[in-house]
Amino acid sequence: MRTPVTLPKVLSPSDVDRLVAALRTERDRAMVDAMLLGGLRRCEVLGLRLEDVRSAERKVFIVDGKGGRQRLIPMSARFFTTLARYLDHERPTDASTDAVFVVMRGPTTGAPLSAFGLDEIMRGARRRAGLVQASCHQLRHTCFTRLREAGMSIEALQAQAGHASIETTRVYLHLTNDWLASEYRKAADLIDLANMEAVK
């Protein structure tokens, strides 16, 4: 008997807006965009190297994805715009690492940002935004849910996510069905209300 999979919460557009507004630097916005718009895992964001960013192609190369799988994936233009602002104005010029995202102040300035550091950034943004939930994994999950809702094929979603098995990706089919049912109920309720008003 298959154990039910517990899925992380999908963030609403308003929650996403509040979270992004609470971020303090272009670096932090670029990291959130990578997860929210490209579906990168936390470790993939932190593992990005300068040479992995293909700005002209609007793609990023994931060298070390889950299970050691590599992939070249498209990314939103917004990510590259935000990333360029970070690289041009915030990233320490004397950083001795090729990691894209680095510590910007304190005794470890210029060192690669750690998972703990990214988690702290997310905690602070959640607190300022007044959100109970908004983890790195929820951003990734929100990305794929929205892409599926917008009509992206399940095979394309699998490639974007870096899933080894299409079965892992199929969960987004069920999520879309739930979303569709919810949207239908809202629309049907409005129609019923309009019909009742017409009868009066």
CATH of the domain at 17: 1.10.443.10
Catalytic residue list contains 9: no
Catalytic residue list contains 163: yes
Q: Which pLDDT belongs to residue 4?
A: 53
Q: Which pLDDT belongs to residue 111?
A: 96
Please identify which of the residues 58, 66, 89, 127 carries the catalytic annotation: 66
Q: What percent of the chain has pLDDT over 70?
A: 86
Mean pLDDT, to the nearest integer, of 123-152?
A: 91
**2 located within any domain:** no
Higher pLDDT, 89 or 7: 89
* Cβ neighbours around 89 below 10 Å, total: 10
**191 located within any domain:** no
Q: Which domain holds residue 122?
A: 13-169
10 has a pLDDT exceeding 70: yes
Catalytic residue list contains 140: yes
In this structure, are residues 90 and 110 in contact, taking their beta carbons and an 8 Å threshold?
no
Q: To the nearest whole number, what is the mean pLDDT of the chain?
A: 86
Q: Give the confidence band of 110 by pLDDT, cuts at 50, 70, 90.
A: very high
Alpha helices by DSSP H, the chain: 13-22, 26-38, 42-47, 77-89, 115-129, 136-149, 154-161, 166-169, 171-199
Catalytic residue list contains 186: no
**193 located within any domain:** no
Q: Give the confidence band of 45 by pLDDT, cuts at 50, 70, 90.
A: very high
Please identify which of the residues 29, 91, 126, 163 carries the catalytic annotation: 163
Using the 8-state DSSP alphabet, how is residue 73 labeled? E
Length of the chain measured in residues: 200
**160 located within any domain:** yes
Q: Give the confidence band of 145 by pLDDT, cuts at 50, 70, 90.
A: confident
173 has a pLDDT exceeding 80: no
Catalytic residue list contains 78: no
Please identify which of the residues 18, 41, 126, 148 carries the catalytic annotation: 41
Higher pLDDT, 191 or 77: 77
Please identify which of the residues 140, 141, 146, 148 carries the catalytic annotation: 140
Catalytic residue list contains 89: no
The amino acid sitting at 21 is A
Q: How far apart are CA 162 and CA 74, in angstroms?
A: 12
Looking at the structure of the chain, the number of domains it has is 1
84 has a pLDDT exceeding 60: yes
Q: Which pLDDT belongs to residue 160?
A: 82
194 has a pLDDT exceeding 60: yes
Please identify which of the residues 137, 174, 184, 185 carries the catalytic annotation: 137
Question: Which of 139-148, 151-160, 168-177, 183-192 is predicted with the least confidence, judged by mean pLDDT?
Answer: 168-177
**187 located within any domain:** no
**27 located within any domain:** yes
54 has a pLDDT exceeding 80: yes
